[in-house]
Amino acid sequence: MELVVAGAVALCVLGFNQLFGLYTLIKYIKGLFNMDYIIGELYFFITYTDDNLLYPKIYSVVHIGKNLDDEDDEELWYFQDAQIYNEIGAYPDFDKKDSDTGEVDIYSFRELDLEHVKTPKTLYDELEECFSRRNQ
């Protein structure tokens, strides 16, 4: 509701073209901080191998919960490597003897770092932006 009211006010002040840009920016920012991650759902962790964000590196991960460690001094979202999750189950309920190495990749993210964790749709959008940068 507040987005509709803000949009109406902005339309009067900014005009349609500037409003559309503002709306797109607000939608993007809200998407960055959408912390409604579903346990057991597949997500993608993306990093880049260069400073110009031209060469992405993508990890498939599964959300396994929030604040799993009693020693966490801030809110942390936890994700597990998707292959291991599929093979032996979710940490900490799996049996390590079923793993080839006994090691499991667990990633934890602070709220500000969640921008690197993507849904299939936001990963697609991120890759489109990357390819656009590469074609400049």
Mean pLDDT of 117-134: 96
- Residue indicated by tokens 């987005």: 3
pLDDT at 39 over 90: yes
The pTM of this model reads 0.67
Residue 18: per-residue pLDDT: 59
The domains of the chain are located at 1-32, 35-134
- Sign of CA pseudo-dihedral 31, 35, 39, 45: positive
Closest-CA residue to 101 (of 84, 76, 80, 116): 84
Banded model confidence at residue 105, pLDDT cuts 50, 70, 90: confident
Note the pLDDT of residue 92.
73
Question: What pLDDT is recorded for position 66?
Answer: 92
pLDDT tens string 69-102: 888 789 999 999 999 999 888 887 765 545 555 6
One-letter-per-residue 3-state SS of 101-133 = CCCCCEEEECHHHHHHEECHHHHHHHHHHHHHH
- DSSP per residue, the chain: -HHHHHHHHHHHHH-HHHHHHHHHHHHHHHHHT---PPTT-EEEEEEESSTTS-SEEEEEEEEEEES-STT-SS--EEEEEHHHHHHH-STTSS-GGGSSSS---EEEE-GGGGGGEE-HHHHHHHHHHHHHHHT-
User: Is residue 110 very low, low, confident or very high in pLDDT (cuts 50, 70, 90)?
Assistant: very high
Who has greater pLDDT, 68 or 31? 68
